Amino acid sequence: MILNRAKFCCGGKMKKNKGFTLIELMVTIAVLAIVASIAVPSFSENIAKQSLDNSAKEILSALNEGRSKAVSLRSVVIVCPNKDKTGAIVTPKQCVLKTIASADSDKFVEQNRVILANVTDSTDVTSTVFGVVFLPMGNVESTKTFTLCSKNKSKNIIVAATGASEISTGAC
Classify residue 4 by its DSSP letter: P
Amino acid at 35: V
**Helix H segments across the chain?**
22-73, 92-99, 105-110
* pTM assigned to the model: 0.76
Residue 162 CA to residue 73 CA, distance in Å, equals 17
Residue 152 confidence (pLDDT):
87
Residue 9 confidence (pLDDT):
53
Per-residue pLDDT of the chain (172 residues; tens, 9 = 90+): 454 555 555 555 666 667 778 898 899 998 998 888 887 777 778 888 899 999 999 999 999 999 999 999 999 999 999 999 999 999 999 999 999 988 899 999 999 999 999 999 989 999 989 999 999 999 999 999 999 999 889 999 999 999 999 999 988 8
Residue 38 CA to residue 48 CA, distance in Å, equals 17
Specify whether the CB–CB gap between 135 and 76 falls below 8 A: yes
Sign of CA dihedral 56, 62, 64, 70: negative
